[in-house]
Amino acid sequence: MEYIEKELKEGIKIHQIKTNKFKTNLMAIFLTTSLNRETVTKNALISSVLRRGTKNMPTQECISKELEEMYGGAFDCGLDKSGDNQVLKFYLETINDNFLPQSGENMWKKTIEKLLEIVFNPLVENGAFKEEYVNQEKENVKLRIESKIDNKAKYALDRCIEEMYKGQPFGLYKFGYTEDLENIDSKNLYQTYKNLIDNCKIDIFVSGILDDNLEQYILENEELQKLKPRKPDYNIAKIISKKAEKENSVAESMDVSQGKLVLGLDLDVGEEEARYHALLYNSILGGSANSKLFQNVREKAHLAYVASSSYIRYKNNIFVNCGIEIENYDKALNLIKEQIENMKKGNFTDKEIENAKKGIISGIQAIEDEQDTQIVYYYGQELSQNKMSVSEYKEKVMQVSKENILSIANKVTIDTIYFLKN
């Protein structure tokens, strides 16, 4: 494995990951921009409109057929909230030439051309996106926003975050808001797109068996050559300490047969090193089948099937998730709080720390065996401007001590308790 990073122009980077572990060529383009209420919906809509047609592949049918001809090139676009950034992600995965039934294809060249075309050369009519596409995609985005209620557990988590970050960028829903759609048209959306492309941070990843001409294909691409250098408008993901003043409880009703309980925790630590400590703390609290939550809420009290927690490192928060009988709310909440209190008292053993480390390290070691995870790993470093090899990362985790974890435990406060019931 070899990782080469190159700045093409200011604010535009090419990341090459040379690896022979995969059958596929994976290319990704990430557009990173600061998250705000004014553009959140427009950006979500842009990512939908781009996949509808390009200058040279003007319809979705055309794009689909081209990709199918490439042995089912898998195009995907997604939208992420990474800290206070909105990230538009575009992927194209194709089969490497070595595994095609016949030789003579140049799959990398086609992959690079097609993905750059979709992102940077959209179908434009009279200085605007094609109106028909924009109107259809507005409907599409509206449905997507409305569908946030369909996955109840995910919805409960999103609502908890929204409550915790009221009026702040991270509290925004990544697909935006239906009421914004009315005022968007093909012209102003295209202006937003131009603005995004001129000012966002652009990261282009290529991963797989890379041929020697690959860099050249990218450098010679006309769409890329047209892009201007920029001082990218995004937020570097730095750790921020937070302390909840008081516990905020929110309960809402929906037609559910199981109650979904989410706790949002704040961490009052600000040093970069604390990330590793928090990772360990979370693992012991609710990150695995050995964790306090799994063992006590599920295995001992039999209150839940799902009882876990996760650490959102970009925002320095931990979220606890449980699916419970609605009448067991008090019992479950008390039990969760008891686990948090026990952690503060240092009621966790060296064995638990060691186990948690093993689990985390196993995950770190697997990074290089998963093509998309590896891209996300390097992107995460790019975003936090903190470059580290997989082995350095492992070393950081190894060094975390019981004192480190205890100190995190005592800086944890409960910010929001969200309950979805019927």
In which order are the strands placed within the sheet that holds 24-34?
Answer: 2-9, 12-18, 201-208, 24-34, 85-95, 74-82
366 scored as a contact of another protein (CB under 8 A): yes
Cβ closer to another protein: 36 or 365?
365
Cβ closer to another protein: 48 or 82?
48
73 scored as a contact of another protein (CB under 8 A): yes
User: What mask of x and - would describe binding to another protein in positions 40 to 59, judged by CB under 8 A?
Assistant: -------------------x
Q: Chain-centre distance of CA 249, in angstroms?
A: 27
4 scored as a contact of another protein (CB under 8 A): no
14, 27 contact by CB (below 8 A): no
**What secondary structure does DSSP assign to 166-203, as a single string?**
TTSGGGS-TT--HHHHTT--HHHHHHHHHHHHHHSEEE
Q: Which helix (H) or strand (E) holds 109?
A: helix 107-120
Q: Chain-centre distance of CA 351, in angstroms?
A: 32
Which of 256, 312, 388, 406 touches another protein (CB under 8 A)? 256
CB of 352 to another protein, least distance (A): 9
Gyration radius from the chain CA atoms? 23
Cβ closer to another protein: 202 or 320?
320
152 scored as a contact of another protein (CB under 8 A): yes
Which of 9, 78, 149, 243 touches another protein (CB under 8 A)? 149
Residue 410 to residue 134: CA distance in whole angstroms: 50
136 scored as a contact of another protein (CB under 8 A): yes
103 scored as a contact of another protein (CB under 8 A): no
CB of 278 to another protein, least distance (A): 19
CB of 193 to another protein, least distance (A): 21
Q: 361 vs 295, 368, 382, 393, CA distance in Å?
A: 22, 12, 21, 9
b/e sequence 324-355, b meaning 16+ C-beta within 10 Å = bebebbeebbebbeebbeebeeeebeeebbeb
- Of 281-320, binders to another protein (CB under 8 A) are 288-290, 295, 298-299, 302-306
User: What mask of x and - would describe binding to another protein in positions 319 to 358, judged by CB under 8 A?
Assistant: ----xxx-------------------------x---x-xx
CB of 140 to another protein, least distance (A): 5
Beta bridge partners of 54: 122
Torsion sign across C-alpha atoms 348, 317, 160, 364: negative
255 scored as a contact of another protein (CB under 8 A): yes
247, 415 contact by CB (below 8 A): yes
CB of 221 to another protein, least distance (A): 24
Which of 70, 157, 293, 383 touches another protein (CB under 8 A)? 70
Torsion sign across C-alpha atoms 354, 358, 360, 365: positive
Contact residues for another protein, defined by CB under 8 A: 20-24, 59-61, 64-65, 67-74, 93-95, 98-99, 101, 132, 136, 139-140, 143-144, 146-150, 152-153, 254-258, 288-290, 295, 298-299, 302-306, 323-325, 351, 355, 357-359, 361-363, 365-366, 368-371
